[in-house]
Amino acid sequence: MGLRWKKRLMDEGEINRAVNRMAHEIIERSASLKDVVLVGVHTRGIPLAEHLSKLIHHYEGLEVPVGKLDITLYRDDLTEIGVQPIVRRTEVPVDIHGRELVLCDDVIYTGRTVRAALDALMDLGRPSLIRLAVLVDRGHRELPIQADYVGRAIQTSRSEVIKVHFHSTDGEEGVDLLESES
Amino acid sequence: MMEAVQIRHRHLLDLEDWSASEIESLWRTTDAMMEVMQRKVKKVPSLQGFTVATLFFENSTRTRLSFERAAKVQSAEVLNFAAGGSSLSKGESLKDTLRTIDAMQADLYIVRHVAAGTPYQLSRWTDASIVNAGDGRRAHPTQALLDGYTFRRCFEGFDGFRGKRLTIVGDVMHSRVARSNISLWTKLGAEVVLCGPRTLLPAELEQYSGVRRCFRLEEAIEGAHAVMALRMQRERMQGGLFPSLAEYQARYQVTTKMMERAHPHAIVMHPGPMNRDVEIEGVLADSERSVIEEQVAHGVPVRMAVLYSLLVGRGR
């Protein structure tokens, strides 16, 4: 099954503006900014979390810690799948007990990754609350899960694929729409 | 840095058919499992729905416990089959025993047996995955994987196995741990020096490129990056393979003094259980050079990675 490129949905400037707005929303909504911890889901939730942390530091002069979460061990399809997902290291540098977590991921789709991420976070401690930040919400949820901070909501069909590129992971920045050809 | 690769093996029988990049990928998974073992609550759901059975035809409480822990931390169901109290002692054949256990629908068997090759034979009779937890003198792959992992993590300034030297001291002939470590370290580009009384160092092991025998401990340890002492079993003395324990100690005991000849950062390993002050000087086993405790601690995450790698991705 190949993927055909359709169009660029967001360029670097549009990503920057969206992430900027999300950073302001996080600052506004958090009861206590010093208790906030940004947790990025491997792989492309991490650059989003780092970007948000940098902006919050820029506006508020506060270092918001960034954690890395791998959700592989919590996937709900491990007994069924025919390929083996690579497990990466979870690194959350602070005790999350009582903290306000902002879970960050590049795209929200079925909601299953977020479900797994919530279980993974709960195993690390008991945060006071967890909110969700995504760069792109592409719809088609299979679970009752919604994002609190959204860079852009985009209507998609199930045969389409959203591909997010960040400098640190892909060498350039942008959001592309692709179509799978079966 | 090497890309992580998919591990496509159904079994872990020995390390001969595992590539260097598969071993490195397994160790990356082990890194992630280490983090799980450092949490307050050591439980992840990764093997939920899988059933693992331990078939220990030869006793070994600590290896079985280590595997059991590795399975349970990942939420697998664990069945324990201890051959001592089973129908094998009533004359049932190995094949019939396996058939009976197969009816319990386990996905993976962890097998230890005194007869070399038993795990291979079992793998032909079942659809389940087989992990060799030690067969005769042949192989003990998870022990070698945890020894190599320990070197990778504990050797100060580790920059790969190429150009490194492992010295294994003692009863190499009867040791599956030695054979699996030879296979692992040479595959990764390290040199392996075997040291001990001539009667306990089989010449055929020099068939591996990168392996040589050395009968004097001083020479064998010279410049070594890791030194592994093997357990000296008193029974071997009766077999006439070495004259006396005192003579063995005098010539082959790994001591603090002897370690001065090794690389300045050299580590000392022992697969356990150890005879303190026989094959290894007690104070050395407790010293900073010793990574014996780390070896034990790494057993669980390495075995977690093995179970994950064999079970996940095979589909149902």
pTM here is 0.93
Peptide bond into A47 cis (omega under 30): no
A97 to A37, A76, B195: CA distances (angstroms): 11, 25, 52
Question: Per the domain annotation, does B11 fall within a domain?
Answer: no
Instruction: Name, in order, each residue with C-beta under 8 angstroms of A97's C-beta and a sequence gap of 6 or more.
Output: A125, A126, A127
**CB B272, CB B295: distance < 8 Å:** yes
Question: Per the domain annotation, does B53 fall within a domain?
Answer: yes
A169/B178 Cα distance (integer angstroms): 41
Which pLDDT does position B240 carry in this prediction?
77
Please tell me which residue, B93 or B265, carries the higher pLDDT value.
Answer: B265
Query: What would the mean pLDDT of B284-306 be, rounded to a whole number?
Result: 97
B187/B181 Cα distance (integer angstroms): 10
Which pLDDT does position B50 carry in this prediction?
96
Question: Per the domain annotation, does B291 fall within a domain?
Answer: no
**Is there a single domain that holds both residue B56 and residue B157?**
no
**Is there a single domain that holds both residue B262 and residue B194?**
yes
**Is there a single domain that holds both residue B133 and residue B262?**
no
Which pLDDT does position B111 carry in this prediction?
96
Give the amino acid at A116: A
Per-residue model confidence as pLDDT tens digits over B157-166 = 999 999 999 9
Question: Per the domain annotation, does A18 fall within a domain?
Answer: yes
Question: Per the domain annotation, does A80 fall within a domain?
Answer: no
Peptide bond into A43 cis (omega under 30): yes
Coil, strand, or helix at residue A71? coil
**Is there a single domain that holds both residue B277 and residue B182?**
yes
Which pLDDT does position B252 carry in this prediction?
96
Question: Per the domain annotation, does B290 fall within a domain?
Answer: no
**Is there a single domain that holds both residue B128 and residue B209?**
no
Query: Which chain A residues are closer than 8 Å to B35 by Cβ?
Result: 89-91
Coil, strand, or helix at residue B184? helix
**Is there a single domain that holds both residue B172 and residue B239?**
yes
Q: Is the CB of A89 less than 8 angstroms away from the CB of B32? A: yes
Per-residue model confidence as pLDDT tens digits over B103-150 = 999 999 999 999 999 999 999 999 999 999 999 999 999 999 999 999
Q: Which of residues 12-41 of A touch B (CB under 8 A)?
A: none
Whether the per-residue pLDDT at B311 is higher than 70: the answer is yes
Q: What is the mean pLDDT of chain B?
A: 93
Question: Per the domain annotation, does B2 fall within a domain?
Answer: no
**Helical segments of chain B, H only:** 20-37, 61-73, 94-102, 118-125, 141-154, 176-187, 217-221, 235-238, 245-252, 256-259, 282-285, 292-311
Which pLDDT does position B2 carry in this prediction?
59
Question: Per the domain annotation, does A84 fall within a domain?
Answer: no
Question: Per the domain annotation, does A175 fall within a domain?
Answer: yes
CB-nearest to B4 from A82, A86, A91 is A86
Spans in chain A with pLDDT lower than 70: 1, 182
ipTM above 0.90, yes or no: no
How many domains, chain B?
A: 2
Question: Per the domain annotation, does A158 fall within a domain?
Answer: yes
Question: Per the domain annotation, does A86 fall within a domain?
Answer: no
**Helical segments of A32-174, H only:** 45-60, 112-124, 167-170
A87/B291 Cα distance (integer angstroms): 26
Cβ count within 10 A of residue B61? 9
- The domain that holds A99 is classified in CATH as 3.40.50.2020
Cβ count within 10 A of residue A60? 14
**Is there a single domain that holds both residue B264 and residue B149?**
yes
**Is there a single domain that holds both residue B127 and residue B169?**
no
**Is there a single domain that holds both residue B123 and residue B230?**
no
Which pLDDT does position B108 carry in this prediction?
97
**Is there a single domain that holds both residue B146 and residue B275?**
yes
Q: Which domain holds residue B122?
A: 20-138+298-311
Q: Which of A69, A87, A121 to mutate: most B Cβ within 10 Å? A: A87
**Is there a single domain that holds both residue B120 and residue B211?**
no
Instruction: Name, in order, each residue with C-beta under 8 angstroms of B67's C-beta and a sequence gap of 6 or more.
Output: B52, B54, B110, B131, B133, B142, B303, B307
Coil, strand, or helix at residue B280? strand
Six token digits for residue A95? 């005790």
Within 13 A of B73's CA, how many CA atoms are on the CB side? 26
- A95 vs B: CB within 8 A: no
B89/B93 Cα distance (integer angstroms): 10
A126/A107 Cα distance (integer angstroms): 25
Query: Which chain A residues are closer than 8 Å to B25 by Cβ?
Result: 86
- B203 CB burial (10 A radius; 0-12, 13-18, 19+): exposed
- The domain that holds B112 is classified in CATH as 3.40.50.1370
**Is there a single domain that holds both residue B206 and residue B249?**
yes
Q: Is the CB of A78 less than 8 angstroms away from the CB of B46? A: yes
SS3 content of chain A, % helix, strand, coil (to 5): 30, 30, 35
- A90 vs B: CB within 8 A: yes
- B201 CB burial (10 A radius; 0-12, 13-18, 19+): buried
Which pLDDT does position A62 carry in this prediction?
96
Which pLDDT does position A82 carry in this prediction?
83
A110/B16 Cα distance (integer angstroms): 42
Question: Per the domain annotation, does A131 fall within a domain?
Answer: yes
**Helical segments of A34-171, H only:** 45-60, 112-124, 167-170
Closest C-alpha to B218, from B159, B261, B175: B261
Per-residue model confidence as pLDDT tens digits over B30-57 = 999 999 999 999 999 999 999 999 999 9
Q: Which domain holds residue A24?
A: 2-75+91-181
How many domains, chain A?
A: 1
B206/B209 Cα distance (integer angstroms): 7
Which pLDDT does position B86 carry in this prediction?
56
Coil, strand, or helix at residue A48? helix
